[in-house]
Amino acid sequence: MTDLELVGANKSFGGWHKRYRHYSEVLGRDMIFAIFLPPQAEQGKSLPVLYWLSGLTCTDENFMQKAGAQRLAAELGLVIVCPDTSPRGDGVPDDPDGAYDFGWGAGFYINATEQPWSKHYRMYDYVTQEIPALVEANFPVSEQRSVSGHSMGGHGALICALKNPGRYRSVSAFAPIANPSGCPWGQKALERYLGPDQAQWKQWDASVLMAKASEKLPCLVDQGEDDSFLVEQLKPEALEQAASATGYPLTLRRQPGYDHSYYFVATFIDDHLRHHARALGLAG
């Protein structure tokens, strides 16, 4: 496989969970991503792909180990690809105060324009262009793609879909940062990565983008009502208002008793996989 180094492999539900290291031209350093290849991948079929974008502090391992997605993905014949949440390592700047919500583990899936972040923090180009091209060149997959994510990754999934008409068949999110230009997590990241011009921030805000979207993809969002970040950081009502104003096909479900954890994600992941399977033409 071109420029891919296998760093781990585990048999799972008749398929394979594998981790690869590669050099990213976009980010200017080595990166690791995970891929789940269902059993159908060994039968010569070109399979559709769900790209999963994880949240703050996460790597590729959180979703693959905790969400429990492999069983149904194996039944459906759905490939899952999970990149890291940011560049890391020597030479990559991190939050100077060691905060968890910026820098390593917190790339916010945007293209930074401010120094010193712009050299490496271009996660938007990485997840929308470089990783799909790498996956499609090296694995038995089609160009049929969907995208999903959790928290910061939910924000990432929404903006990737909303900014790229025709690239994805469906989108979903768990507890997304729906209005980053209007919450502390987002304001901190957007100002440091993009500078003080708030007009630039809005180009990376899902609620703003949804209000003027030219393409209307099937969109499923789950939000736990006992999520400690709900009121201050997540703001799903902004997404609902945008969808209502434009007729965007958003299904936003508020789930009583659920928090922000992977217990929440694991509970509803099958619904999301079936949501994407239907859009990708698989039996869901």
Name the burial class of residue 122, with classes exposed (0-12), middle (13-18) and buried (19+) by CB atoms within 10 angstroms of its CB: buried
Residue 151 falls in the annotated catalytic set: yes
Q: Which amino acid is at 255?
A: Q
Selected catalytic residue, list 151, 170, 181, 207: 151
Task: Please confirm, yes or no, whether 197 is among the known catalytic residues.
Answer: no
Dist. CA 68–CA 196, nearest whole Å? 40
The amino acid sitting at 48 is P
Coil/strand/helix, residue 90? coil
Which residue in the list 60, 205, 222, 227 is annotated as catalytic? 227
At residue 58, what is the residue type? C
User: Measuring CA to CA, which residue among 202, 175, 177, 206 is closest to residue 191?
Assistant: 202
Nearest to 168 by CA among 141, 140, 147, 142: 147
Query: Are the C-beta atoms of 194 and 188 separated by less than 8 Å?
Result: no
> Which residue has 């994407």 as its token pair?
276
Nearest to residue 253, comparing CAs of 263, 231, 232, 268? 268
Instruction: Strands of 74-233 (E only): list them.
Output: 79-83, 141-150, 171-174, 219-224
Tokens of 125: 């180009």
270 is catalytic: no
Residue in 17, 150, 260, 276 annotated catalytic:
260
- Cα–chain center distance at 137: 21
Catalytic residues: 151, 227, 260
